[in-house]
Structure 1
Amino acid sequence: MIDQSHERSVSFGLSETMKPDYDLLGQHELRLQLARNRVLHAHAAPVMESLHEQIANTQSMVVLTDPQGLILMSLGDDDFLSRAEKVALKPGALWSEEFQGTNAIGTAIAEMAPTTVHGDQHFLRANHFLTCSSVPIIGPSGKLAGVLDVTGDHRSYHRHTMALVRMSAQMIENQLFANAFPEAFLVRFHGRHEFLGTLMEGIAAFSRDGRFLSANRSAQFQLGLSLAALGAHTFSSLFGITPSAVFDHYRTAQPGLLKLCLNNGVRVFGKAEFQYTGLTLPTSIAAPEPAPLQTASDDGTNAAKMRMRLSSLRYLDTGDPQITALIDKLRKVIGKDISIMITGETGTGKELLARAIHNDSPRRSGPFIAVNCASIPETLIESELFGYEEGAFSGARRKGGTGRVLQANGGTLFLDEIGDMPISLQARLLRVLQERVVTPLGSTKSIAVNVAIICATNRNLREMIRTGSFREDLYYRLNGMVARLPPLRERGDLEIVIAKILHDDLNVERRLHIDPEVMGLFRRYHWPGNFRQLSNVLRTAAAIVDDDGHIRREHLPDDFLEDLSDIPAAPVMQLPSGNTRLDELEVSAIAAALRQHQGNVSAVARMLGVSRNTIYRKMQALQLQGKTDA
């Protein structure tokens, strides 16, 4: 390979003793190239920093180039960087073979293969003091996206350097791949389950109907097919099951790993990630699709009206005193330019409440834009929120991208998992909220914006402020009113919630009934996944229920029943003998349970198989208030 590269160098008109072309791009042109390669740079930068830490103090540097060999970024030891600058090994320099002769960057591009060029293997004598290890970075489309390189003094070359560069390049490729298909589902797989989540896993992307989109290099190797050959396949032909079977797997309460059989007969373990928003998997009670409310057909209009009805505050008021009190407070602040912070455990329906607030507000005819701050990579969340100008980075739409803040103009912006927003972006968000203007990336023009802000988190933001991971000024700007959603185990409207899920959310055509034994199990259970988990359990039960429409114990998922087996059954109360009145028996049972659980009403309600409302009502009626503290 080195010999062939030397031959190419001669054909380019280069000689070994010539002075290299050290012309550099000007700062303006370099900034343009960085903008065109913004996605690559954003994903590569943290990986390069990690790689640099591993090779620090070894007289070397880490280099990132574009597909033509133009150096975009470099990190390295200061003393070596100064030596490298003498041969223009710095941002703005072009290191293709045409300009530099045989070198790891240019030769890796020419050969499309990992390349090490050591010492006098370089064509130009001026570069003989270098040893370079370069790996092409292949983009999701299968084309060259750039080159990752480690260059150092040839006297300090280490044979493990290439392995580090390979691993780092693969990490960048996987990150590029995972974020390249916003309207797809990804399958991660490997023959050994412990390799899932590592650099060794294969990743393949498919459209929602199972059409093949792309696969990373590990996936191509495991499937035994090139990217071009994979284009003729579907998800079913590659993995032996249908996409709907995968969706059903993830509708269970606690889905495990997928067990798949590749088209070449190899059995692998897998995980699926659903990237698109249109998948009808339960995420919260009656969560509507974020579709426009105006459609061309009557049926579409009726469906839109139904979505609106199912996401109003009135619909959410199902009889639990905590929820009723919360909704009463919300109705008083809606439309008064007061930011709302929704708190609560995962799965308690925070986005549903946010939609209901929007749909009952004066902004109901405007857009509702939801952003999950935890699901967007830190390197992309800035452009996702604030948008970007034309040509801001490679792969972007020709006319730029409108950020979520601008998309919400005239409506409501819902920032879910706000506690996961990078601290570096919190200051910019605060400025947007205070000044009501947005400046897209790569633009100098500010755009006025009028949005209502609703945030949600399951994290302790006050503790994050104390540790310096959340800005105090942003917290108080967002914290106009706190709306705490209680977990399912603390609510007293379980029966009504279940009825709504069965008959409104799951679109069950016939009327279903819950067996009393099952309802007792539901009341005992602690529901760590809250409404999301309850929806999954009911969806499974509704799918396999008998013709009589009664959901019984045998229709519940096995993992749910296994969890229940770990919860102690309610103790049998020893009833007093004689002509004891019924209300005295209730007093005895409730008082004993309150003592056992140290006054925890929620725990008592679960143990006795009744609602919290029932416990409170009995306490008041039987004048047991004083005993709750016992």
Structure 2
Amino acid sequence: MTAKLAFMQARDPLNPDGALSSHVIREEITGSWQRCLQNGLDPCGVPVDAVVSDQTLKVARQARERLMRLVRPELELLSSQIAGTNFMCAFADETGVVLDTIMDTEFSESACGRSIRPGSVWREEQRGTNALGLALLSGRSSMVMGGEHFFSCHGGVSCVAVPILASDGTVVGLLDASSEVAERQFHTKALVALAATNVENRLFAEAHRDDYILQFHQRAEYLATQSVGLIAVDETGRITGANRMSARLLTGMHLATVSRFDDLFRGDFRAVLRALARGETAQLWERSNAAFFARLHPASLQPLVPPRWRMQEIPAISRIAPQEGTLVLDDDMARDCLRVAKRAASLGQAVCIRGAAGTGKTRLSEAVHRHVHGSGPLIAVDCRRLRRATDGGAAAHAILQGCVAPDPRPDPRPDPRNEGGGTLVLEHIGALDELGSGALAELLDTLREAILAQHWCVLATDRTRGEETAPRPKAVDDLRMLALELPPLAARTDFHKLARSMLADLSPDHRLSVKAVRRLAEFDRRDNLNDLRHHLQVLAASCPAGILRDGQVDRFLAVQDTADQVCPRCRDTSIRRQRCLEIRRMYRVCQCNVALTARRLGVSRNTIYAHLKD
């Protein structure tokens, strides 16, 4: 008896009352037949043409738009690989509804081609034994050849279906290839499986874009193929996901029972990660002594920086653009601070520039940077926001190392790590003292390596507290930084040059008289240069072009500094006090225009002048 005859004889008794002969039929097929019979399907009848509505199909496609964009290129490639065999390729969602198809003309004109269309449902309980329904039910690749279909009307077609798994192992879709040529189905099955793997790996990379993805295999040459195992780990070494190939490669290991990298492989996780981040191929040893070769997945080649911490996405990290305007340092203390900082940075010495807010620490850092690295990148890290933007010291270490480590990717786009060094400014470095001692030590080791090996210049800024001498941050001492201090604006001897230079940058049409400069110097400015810039902006906006005089300074600025004060004659009476405050408020609203203020309040201009006197 030939195998074909034995098969046909096994299928003959397929009826509601018949017994199933399974000695030549695969167990999964006989099991499917049995379920179909239990569901009341008639193998000699016609399957229900189950189709969802156009609106339901539209909603299903929209909900899986991203997945369909990944699947469509694979369908097109698959169709070109099996073309000429009276074929059809399809993609169905996790409920068995076909969402997309590609088929040749001959197949589209067949009865099977007309039934497999977008919106058609191919679950086993409705369509009988078929590859899509079987794969959906089992979660594994399935192949149904001709007469293995439950309904005899499907006997002229052979089909292969492979499920697409998400990173958590759930089925998110299925790829199907059907043809009237049964001889090539085993070859087709391999092609469909490869297409599904390609989609799964892309889904895995997207799902774990916030983690490091390690790809590994027993043979190094296979690392460039799609047959690699993928394991996602976070910055602490915790395993967050693994693809299905990982389970096949790690024989004897149950990934569901392990939670950390160290549970799977021997060796220090961070040491392995550093090697991989440099673009190296590392060798991993499984706990059972099996050897693997590993690389970082291309999506993870951001050295020690998870994608969610890319520089442009982290509020704590920014690239400082060149500052406009002339840097004025005619004060002896400020000039000496710049001179020492330049010399120290040129020798590879880290420098901490201290000073109150607005004393010019960032401008001085930029001047040092231009002296040492010219047009290289100038990166600023606000250490206060860094503590809030990360999950502890390890993450802070990762971000800072990512800023200064070389990038192994062949990427033509500008990247600060590809420019042969630059300057890293740690703003408010004192905030790093709140990190744990171990995390801080690791972070400082990274910075030392950056200075010695990557030719990076490391500067830091920290704020003093008024006249009080604030304690030196521990990070400054541990990094052996040379500490310098910029004087406050009130202590600088070059105020007149600062004011005139700043005004020239803001408005070339305005100039300051000698008395106006003296009057400006008398103001108390807590934010130093920042407050001076604001005052000059107010004067330039309020006064016509030309020379700015001391009377205009008093008119447009003095009232702002005394906005909550009252004139001497109104201090003792609450009613007069409220009236005085209202006059001063309206004066500011009217842009310091006395005539307009008088009209608004219905009083004389002399009354306004009287209340503006100190």
What TM-score results when the alignment is normalised by the length of structure 2? 0.50
What TM-score results when the alignment is normalised by the length of structure 1? 0.48
- Greater relative contact order (Cα < 8 A, sep 6+): 1
Rg larger in 1 or in 2? 2
